[in-house]
Structure 1
Amino acid sequence: MADTAESGNKMASEGTKKDDPDLESTMEPLVLCKENEGGVHVEENALTKVCRLLKSKEFWKARFPCSYWIPEYRFSTFIGDTIAGTTTALTVIPQGIGYAPLAGLPLQYGLYASILPGFIYAVFGTTKELSVGPTAVNAIMSFNYAGSDAGKAATLALFTGIIEFIMGFLNLGFLLHFVSDPVITAFSSAVAIQVITSQIKGLFGIKYPARGFLNVWIGLFQNIKKTSLPDLGSGVVSILILFMIRKLKECKVCEGPDPNAMRAKVIKKIKWFLSISANCIIIIIEWVGVEETSIKEILDSRDPIQILQDLGTGLVMLPLVSLLQHLAIAKHYAGSKKMKASQEMSALGLIQIAGSFVGSMCVTASFGRSAVNASSGVKTPFGGVITGLIIILACAVLSTYLKYIPTSILSAVIIFSMFSTIDVNLLITLIKTKSIDLLPCLVTFLLGLFYSVESGLIIGTLIHSLLVVYLSTRLKVCVKDEDKFTIIQPDRELFYPSVDSLRSTLNEAAKRKMPILVDLSRSTYLDYSSSTTLIASIKSIEKSGTKVLLVLAEDQAQALGGPLTGLNFYYSVEDATLEIIA
């Protein structure tokens, strides 16, 4: 069995690396130079370029990543994928059932949202560990925009998928780089607390009209006397059981003195299996029965365009948040390899589009499920197909037995799963290091907690972007006084907001009435405004009788061209220094 797993791992590794070009390398500029047979450079127009790409085998293989691992697929790999897919299904099923109420939908809709992702991602996905399906973040945001209307939720998923696919097709993944890790972490923590808050009423068995962090907790204390003790008791016991089962794998009971013995290995595997199946175990214990609901009832006969008008900013926020989650997890598992962001965006978009026709809410990758998939030894994305087949079986067999799963048990499962996504360590680290990231992190978290998670994400990102722009204008200028001249050297590229700092330093140095050497060798880029302002300052100083020598790269001098006429400019500090000494 060890040899089988090892050969599967080797095949998967080779299958991933073999002939696997960087996807972004296939998205070349539409006009480029190309050598003909005589070695002469000729310009290739856009139409010819597109036709050449469409005829390229690598172009199509990059868009169907399954073509890399299918030729190398073996029975041993299938066994590994089957084990991983089955194990992951035990996590997907209870999570899907638990997240559906967060979106205001009946329990079976969580299973519907988990069916197609594995099949589609196996064809278009690039990361074998990823497990795509419903998540707490997407579920609660879907409710915020679509409410409990299944038709609106499916329409939201459809247009979310279209937007994500277009972003992937246009290679717009770089836009997500403007959302920093502290903002993402604060956003996730705020959502986790919001999700926990939304389940408090179910845990205590109390019904009262309230949504939002403050309203729910105020309502809880006002209605605390109406608490259902059986519901609260079963919920608390469930959380304790979940905690103990999860910690079971860290306990060495029954493993024996030799950790390498067969007994110890078998016991460890059993403990690990129980720990990742904890949610499923709790739900099965409390399961009773339900009426069947046809999947055809999910989508109503209303015009999707009319629903679209009601979704508003959800059409922007859901694609953004889904892609942030998905690409963060894909980047984590890509390791040292470059993540193929555009292909992942397109794959997620196709999953959303197809899923909307079977009543799926918005989905994305889940870190918890992906971790289970990876630790189960998945070999290729085909493991998701196995998961999907098991979920189809669960829908067929179990859909008539969902209604009587106690609400308190579902609340307990969701609350427990959310605790692990609250990151307190980041906040402590930012406070200790007095990092400037603390401000956008706190704004994102507090706005997300007390107002709305979407506003927190947008405003936190804008604040962090403004801070980055502000810091880029804080140009550090090194001033060194020599015997016969003064050297002035900025530490970075010159952009128009920062050139005033350099101009002030030049004017101050000019008061010494010694030659000034301005070294721009570290400034690899000068925008138009900064270059014209700098040149005007140099000419003004020279008119006052102070000689200024400018050192810049040859390509910079060629780009500036005419404005340098009449100035003393050189391509190296040594040449400029010799000129001053001479």
Structure 2
Amino acid sequence: MDWSNIQESRRQTLGICSRCCSYETLKKKLPVLGWLPRYTLQWLQVDVIAGLSVGLTVVPQALAYADVAGLPVQYGLYSSFVGCFVYCVLGTSKDVTLGPTAIISLLVSLYTYEDVSLAILLSFLSGCIQLAMGLLNFGFLLDFISYPVIKAFTSAAAVTIAFSQVKNLLGLKDIPREFVLQVYETFRKLPSTRLGDALLGLSCIVILVLLKWMKDTSPRMHRNIPRFYRLCNLIVWFITTARNAVIVIAAGLVAYSFQVLGSQPFILTGKTAEGLPHFQLPPFSETTANETRTFNEMVQKIGPGLFVVPLMGLLESVAIARAFASQNNYRVNTNQELLAIGLTNFLGSFLSSYPITGSFGRTALNSQTGVCTPAGGLITGLVVLLSLGYLTPLFFYIPKAALAAVIICAVAPMFDLRICKTLWNVKRLDLVPFLLTFLVSFWEIQYGILAGILVSIVILCYPVARPQIKVLESESLVLQPTSGLYFPAMEFVRDTVHEKALAVSPQRSVTLDLSQVTMVDYTIVVGLRDLLHEFKSQGLCLTIRGLQVRNNILLGRFIDGESMKMCECCMFNPTYCQFSDIYKCRICI
């Protein structure tokens, strides 16, 4: 037995283990270790204020988004606190807050058909997929989905979500889920509008818009301003920041007042489950009054949502994290973000959560409040837990029209067609995936995303398949691809060579300058071999020059035959090379 080899193997194993378990490695996987040792009392004060502000926003939004997902309102809150605690440990952005969002809630509604068990199972499976992508460092795949496709999808989703709430805003019933039928039935049933819901809903929208305008236009406070004015400004800031909570509470009080007086002109949220969710396994099978569905049948029922929901969740969260990291001068780790959102969905499914992702509106509020670390999410999570523990009986009196107003005002900024003007000025071809995604998303949301991605990939690959070829006239005809040469372009190069050299009279020899080619593959080798044979059969010369050393050796090895040898000098100094019957090219002779 070779003891020296065994000892060397042990040393290598110990070295690998020490690197894997080092503090620096743990800091990469647990970002909390990076900022926690530097945490200060001043940071704590700011994080508490930010956490409370976001908490007062997330509670009413969670109730509203659960309605968008077609689930009882308490499931919005069940989905709102796990991400706060997980992201504090694993997240790399100080601003991002995880929870229910309008887009993910819409997708959950489309793929789970208002079935709670399917929604929770979808959260579990989405978390598994997202965790696998993070562990395998597949975050780079998100870079292949272009910004116009994302903007088109969010704009279409904003229209779909907002219009889906018109029925609650006006008190209409029996409105179908499909967008086109929804629009038709909504307008057809306008005479059935409930006056109380319509007045309350429209009033809530007007007040929300005014409060947002006040927040955006309020002047900044300075130290030399009297304390009374500072106090007034603080009160205004609090009301405008927590405007969603203010509206929901006010509408609930109005509805309760009518209930006490013995009449109720509004459609109320109704009874909700009280208390915190139980920790239990996700439903891997489901028993209904008519049948028992197995795990496979539930997965088949979810269908394309198994891929669309986790993908859109990752896209939304990573895009938000990158945007605010750029705005506030720090960097985020995409793969670490995948791990954070994946673990949140995975653990959340054990607490009756449906899929969640990063929220743009709440993240913006978090950033504007000046949050210093992800610890602000701990306060937000505690606010949600307190609401679940003590406020759920009061949710009975919340009018659905008020929640609809909150949703409509939340998704309205997502609708942005001003990008069309920018795309027209920058690159008009980008309008094609944008418009295609936008329009097809109204038919089927997953087809809109898929169509936009496919068209974007085609636009991306077209210059690869059809490279620009510069034609130079010297002693012989010189053809030079001005970009790299990859396998989709080989037929185009052959057609160009035929058109310029063999389809003319008299036929001409050609020099093919491949100085821009960094790599060759089997398709390129076969294509060049066929061209060489064709030129030789016509008694013409095809000269290849400018190849890098590795490509030169490969071509010489695999195209080499009885009548085709590579110049021995040029193989090691590839400034000029010609395949011919001799062993040295014209330059080397």
CA contact (8 A) 2:543 2:577 kept: no
Number of the residue aligned with 1:406: 399
Question: Any idea what SS the aligned residue of 1:242 has?
Answer: helix
Equivalences for residues 189-208 of structure 1 within 5 A: 189-208=155-174
- Normalized against structure 2, the TM-score is what? 0.83
Amino acid at match of 1:545: L
Q: Which amino acid aligns with 2:40?
A: R
Is the aligned partner of 1:456 residue 2:448?
A: yes
Q: Alignment partner for residue 262 of structure 1, among 221, 225, 234? A: 225
Find the partner of 2:239 among 274, 278, 286. 274
- Larger Cα-atom Rg: 2
Contact kept in structure 1, 2:56 and 2:383, CA below 8 Å: no
Cα deviations across residues 139-175 of structure 1 (Å, max 9, x unaligned)?
Answer: 1111222222222211211111111111111111122
Contact 2:556 2:566 (C-alpha < 8 Å) held by counterparts: no
Q: Is the 8 A contact 1:150 1:298 kept in 2?
A: no
1:475 aligns to 2:467 (yes or no): yes
- Residue in 2 that maps onto 1:492: 483
State the partner residue of 1:16.
none
The 8 Å contact of residues 471 and 477 in structure 2, kept in 1 or not, is answered as yes
Relative to 1, partners in 2 of residues 1:567 and 1:478: Cα closer, same or farther, differing over 3 Å? farther
209 and 516 in structure 1: CA distance in 2 versus 1, 3 angstrom threshold: closer
Tell me the alpha carbon deviations over residues 199-239 of structure 1, each in whole angstroms, 9 at most, x when there is no partner.
01111111124122221221122211111122111111111
Residues in 2 aligned to 1:43 and 1:481: alpha-carbon distance in whole angstroms: 62
Partner of 2:214: 248
Mapping 1:297-336, distance limit 5 Å = 303-304=284-285, 305=295, 307-335=298-326
Deviation at 1:132, TM superposition (A): 0.4
Aligned equivalents of 2:55 and 2:277: distance in 1? 24
After the TM superposition, which of the residue ranges 524-533 and 266-275 deviates more from structure 2?
266-275
CA distance in 1, matches of 2:352, 2:279: 5
> What's the CA shift string for 1:417-454, capped at 9, x where partnerless?
111001211233334556222222222111111x2212
Q: In the TM superposition, what whole-angstrom CA distance separates every residue of 1:354-394 from its partner, at most 9, and x where no partner exists? A: 11122111100011111111111111111101111111112
State the distance in 1 between where 2:135 and 2:576 align. 49
1:144 aligned to which of 88, 110, 120: 110
Distance (whole Å) between structure 2 residues aligned to residue 579 and residue 267 of structure 1? 88
| 8 Å contact kept, 1:120–1:350 | yes
Change beyond 3 A, Cα 1:74–1:439: same
CA contact (8 A) 2:75 2:352 kept: yes
C-alpha contact (below 8 Å) 1:151/1:299 kept by paired residues: no
| Distance in 2 separating the partners of 1:301 and 1:355 | 9
Q: Following the alignment from structure 1 to structure 2, what is the Cα–Cα distance between the partners of residues 559 and 53?
A: 38
Match of 2:552 among 550, 557, 561: 557
* 3-state DSSP of counterpart to 2:517: coil
- Do structure 1's residue 383 and structure 2's residue 376 form an aligned pair? yes
2:476–2:508 CA contact under 8 A, matched in 1: yes
> Hey, what's the Cα distance between the residues in 1 that align with 2:89 and 2:546?
54
Matched residues in 1 for 2:552 and 2:14: separation? 35
CA RMSD in angstroms, aligned pairs only:
3.1
Within 5 A, what are the aligned runs for 1:285-296? 285-288=250-253, 291=271, 293-294=273-274, 295-296=276-277
Query: Which shifted more, 42-51 or 295-304?
Result: 42-51
User: Are residue 284 (structure 1) and residue 249 (structure 2) matched?
Assistant: yes
Contact 2:31 2:89 in 1 (8 A): yes
Kept in 2, the 8 Å contact 1:494–1:527? The answer is no
Where do residues 50-69 of structure 1 align in structure 2 (5 Å cutoff)?
A: 51=17, 53-69=19-35
Superposed CA deviations along residues 539-561 of structure 1, whole A, max 9, x for unmatched, are 53255233524211123223434
User: CA distance change for structure 1 residues 75 and 433 in 2, over 3 Å: closer, same or farther?
Assistant: closer
CA deviation after TM superposition for structure 1 residue 477, in Å: 0.2
Structure 1 563/550 Cα, relative in aligned 2: closer, same or farther at 3 Å? farther
Matches of 1:190 and 1:148 in 2, distance apart? 21
Equivalent AA in structure 1 for residue 403 of structure 2: L
> What pairs with 1:19-418 in structure 2 (closer than 5 Å)?
51=17, 53-251=19-217, 261-262=224-225, 270-288=235-253, 291=271, 293-294=273-274, 295-296=276-277, 303-304=284-285, 305=295, 307-335=298-326, 339-418=332-411
Distance in 2, Cα, partners of 1:184 & 1:301: 31
Q: Does 1:546 align with 2:541?
A: yes
AA of the residue aligned to 1:365: G
After TM superposition, the structure 1 stretch with the greater mean CA deviation from structure 2, 403-412 or 171-180, is: 171-180
Alpha-carbon distance in structure 2 between the residues aligned to 1:470 and 1:367: 34
Name which of structure 1's ranges 488-497 and 539-548 shifts more when overlaid on structure 2: 539-548
Are 2:149 and 2:449, in contact at CA under 8 Å, matched by a contact in 1?
A: yes
* Partners of 1:163 and 1:349 within 8 A in 2: yes
Question: What's the offset of the Cα at 1:110?
Answer: 1.2
Displacement of 1:517:
3.4
Cα 1:160–1:481 change in 2 (3 A) is same
Aligned residues: 536
Q: What CA distance in whole angstroms lies between the structure 2 residues aligned with 1:513 and 1:310?
A: 63
Q: Which amino acid aligns with 2:57?
A: T
Provide Cα deviations, 1:65-91, integer angstroms capped at 9, x if missing partner: 111111111111111211111111122
- The answer to whether 1:518 aligns with 2:512 is yes
Residue 167 of structure 1: SS of its match in structure 2?
helix
Say whether residues 1:501 and 2:480 are aligned partners: no
Matched residue SS, 1:497: helix
Shift of 1:53: 4.7
Shift of residue 113 of structure 1? 1.0
TM superposition shift of 1:272: 4.2
Residue identity in the other structure for 2:492:
S
Residue 60 of structure 1 and its aligned partner are, at CA, apart by 2.4
Cα 1:142–1:292 change in 2 (3 A) is closer
User: Which amino acid in structure 1 is aligned with residue 555 of structure 2?
Assistant: L
Mapped to 2, the partners of 1:228 and 1:372 lie a distance apart of 34
- C-alpha distance in structure 2 between counterparts of 1:46 and 1:560, whole Å: 40
Which region of structure 1 is more displaced relative to structure 2, 307-316 or 373-382?
Answer: 307-316
**Equivalent residue letter for 1:101:** D
In structure 2, what is the equivalent of residue 421 of structure 1? 414
Q: Does structure 2 conserve the Cα–Cα contact (< 8 Å) formed by 1:92 and 1:114?
A: yes
Residues 431, 580 of structure 1: CA spacing in aligned structure 2 closer, same or farther, 3 A cutoff? same
Query: Which structure 1 residue ranges, 5 or more long, are not aligned?
Result: 1-41
Letter of the 1:525 counterpart: M
Tell me, in whole angstroms, the C-alpha distance in 2 between the residues paired with 1:170 and 1:316: 17
| Separation in structure 1 between the aligned mates of residue 251 and residue 487 of structure 2, nearest angstrom | 65
> Residues of 2 paired with 1:252 and 1:134: CA distance?
29
Percent identical among aligned pairs is 32
Q: Which amino acid in 1 is paired with 2:122? A: L
1:487 CA drift (Å): 2.9
CA distance in 1, matches of 2:377, 2:239: 21
Partner residue of 1:7? none
Aligned residue for 2:252, secondary structure, equals coil
**Within 2, Cα distance between the matches of 1:101 and 1:441?**
29
C-alpha contact (below 8 Å) 1:553/1:571 kept by paired residues: no
Counterpart code for 2:485: L
Taking the aligned partners of 1:501 and 1:43, their CA distance within structure 2 comes to: 53
Distance 1:476 1:267, change over 3 A: farther
1:550-581 Cα shifts (integer Å, max 9, x gaps):
21112322343413642465788976799669
